[in-house]
Amino acid sequence: MKVPIKVFLVEDSPVALTILQRILASSPEIEIVGTASDGISALKHIPRLKPDVVCTDLLMGKMDGLELTKKLMAEFPKPILVISDVVTANDTQKIGQLLDAGIVDVFPKPTTGFIQDYEQQKNDLIYKIKIISGVKVFTKRNYERNHINNNRKTDTSQRLLRRTTTEPALTVGQNTNYKPLINQKITNYQIVAIGVSTGGPKAMQQIVSKLPANFPLPIVCTQHISTGFLKSLISWLSLETKLKIKIAELGEKPLPGIVYYAPEQYHLEIDNKGRFAYSQAPPIDSHCPSVNIMMQSLAQFYGKSTIGILLTGMGKDGVTGMQDIYHSGGLTIAQDEASSIIFGMPQEAIKSGIVQQVLPLKDIAPFLIRQVGY
DSSP output for 289-333: S-HHHHHHHHHHHHGGGEEEEE-SBSSSTTHHHHHHHHHTT-EEE
Q: How far is CA 261 from each of CA 43, 135, 167, 224, 303, rounded to the nearest angstrom?
A: 36, 25, 32, 11, 20
**Beta pairing, strands 276-279 & 267-270:** antiparallel
Encoded amino acid at 211, one letter: L
Under the banding of pLDDT at 50, 70 and 90, the label for residue 373 is confident
Helix (H) / strand (E) element for 345: namely helix 345-351
pLDDT(244) > 60: yes
Tell me what pLDDT residue 226 has: 83
Q: Which are the catalytic amino acids?
A: 197, 224, 317
According to DSSP, the residues that pair with 163 across neighbouring strands are 135
The Cβ-side half-sphere exposure at 358, using a 13 Å CA radius, reads 25
Cβ-proximal residues to 295 (8 Å cutoff; 6+ apart), any chain = 193, 195, 222, 306, 308, 318, 320, 321, 322, 324, 325
- Please give the average per-residue pLDDT across 101-120, as a whole number: 76
Q: Is the peptide bond before 289 cis (omega within 30 degrees of 0)?
A: yes
Crossing angle of the two packed helices 89-101 and 65-75, in degrees rounded to 10: 10
Do 300 and 204 form a contact (C-beta atoms < 8 A)?
no
Number of H helices and number of E strands within the chain?
A: 12, 16
Distance separating alpha carbons of residues 340 and 170, to the nearest angstrom: 13
CATH classification for the domain delimited by 161-371, as one of 3.90.550.10, 3.40.50.180, 3.40.1160.10, 3.20.20.70: 3.40.50.180
For the ranges 60-74, 111-125, 150-164, the maximum mean pLDDT occurs at 60-74
Closest to 19 (Cα-Cα) out of 46, 57, 64: 57
Residue 206 CA: distances (Å) to CA of 44, 134, 199, 210, 240: 34, 22, 11, 7, 9
**Residue 86: band (very low, low, confident or very high) from pLDDT cuts 50, 70, 90:** low
Res 145 pLDDT > 80: no
How long a stretch of residues is the chain? 374
Query: What pLDDT is recorded for position 276?
Result: 99
Q: What is the pLDDT of residues 8-58, one digit of tens each?
A: 999 999 989 999 999 999 999 999 999 999 999 999 999 999 999 999 999
Please tell me the pTM assigned to this model: 0.82
In angstroms, what CA-CA distances link 159 with 77, 83, 90, 280, 333?
12, 23, 27, 37, 21
Q: Is the pLDDT of residue 160 over 90?
A: no
Closest CA relative to residue 8, chosen from 199, 27, 140, 43:
43
Does the structure show a pLDDT above 90 at 209?
A: yes
Q: Nearest Cα to 333, choosing from 365, 302, 291? A: 365
What would the CATH number be for the domain defined by 5-137? 3.40.50.2300
**131 Cβ neighbours under 8 A, 6+ residues apart:** 105, 198, 314, 342
Domain 5-137 and domain 161-371 have a common topology? yes
Residue 255 confidence (pLDDT): 98
What is the model's pLDDT at position 113? 58
Domain coordinates in residue numbering, the chain: 5-137, 161-371
The whole-angstrom separation of Cα 167 and Cα 165 is 6
- Mean per-residue pLDDT for 118-135? 85
Confidence band for 61, pLDDT divided at 50, 70 and 90: confident
Mean pLDDT of the chain: 85
